Amino acid sequence: MAEPQIEIKAENCSGCLRCSLACSFYNTKERVFSLAEAQIVVRPDESNAWFNVEFRENCTSCGICVEHCDFGALTW
């Protein structure tokens, strides 16, 4: 697995999940929407910002999530 080069700015995350939805749709063989198969995970976390954002281990840093982030939470 390549180390993801994508920078996460969780304080900008709006929790829309467009990153996770796009990740699963464009990267699964069956072209499905699946939060379980997405390699980026967004969950509530008030200790930092409102959301926590993490990559799963099979992330390939393809950048689909960056393309679908409208809030500047994911950048190269």
Partner 1 sequence: MKKIGGYTGKILKIDLGEKRIFTEPLPEEWISSFTGGLGISFKLAYDNACPKEDALGPKNVLIFGAGPFVGTLIPGACKTTVVAKTPVSGFLGISGTGHLGMLKFTGYDNLMITGEADRPVYLKIDDDVEICDAGDLWGKDTWDTTEALWQKLGKQFVVACIGPAGENMAVQASIIVNKYSAYAQSGMGAVMGSKNLKAIALSGSRSISVADPGRFSELIDKAYHQSIESQKETINVFREWGTLRAMGPPISQFGPHEYKNYSEVVPPDLPYKFPLDRFMSEIKRGDISCMACPIGCKHLIRMLKGDKAGDSMAVSCLVGGFHGFAAHCAVEGWEDAIRCDELCNRLGMDYLSAGSAIAFAIELYQKKIIDKTDTDGLELKWGAAEEVQELLRQMALKQGFGKILAQGLIKGPQLIGKNSEKYAVHTRGHAIYYDPRRAMSPDLFSDMINASGDRFHAPGWAGKTITKEFLERHLGMPPDQAEQAVTDMKGYGLARFAKWAEDNATMFECLGLCQMPPHQKVELSVWAGLYEALTGIKTDGEKLLHAAVRVWNIRRKFDLLEGRTRKDDSFIAWRFVTERLASGGEDHDPVSEESFDALLTEYYKERGWDPTEGSVRQESNV
Q: In a 3-state reduction of DSSP, which class is residue 65?
A: helix
Contact (Cβ atoms closer than 8 angstroms) between residue 76 and residue 66: yes
What are the tokens at 40? 């980026």
Size of the site for partner 1 (CB under 8 A): 29
Shortest Cβ distance from residue 17 to partner 1 (Å)? 5
Closest CA to 20 of 56, 72, 48, 57: 56
**In the range 14-73, which residues lie near partner 1 by CB under 8 A?**
14-18, 21-22, 24-25, 28, 30-37, 43-46, 49-50, 68, 70-71
H or E element: which one contains 68? Answer: none
Tell me if 12 contacts partner 1 by CB under 8 A: yes
Interaction site with partner 1 (CB under 8 A): 11-12, 14-18, 21-22, 24-25, 28, 30-37, 43-46, 49-50, 68, 70-71
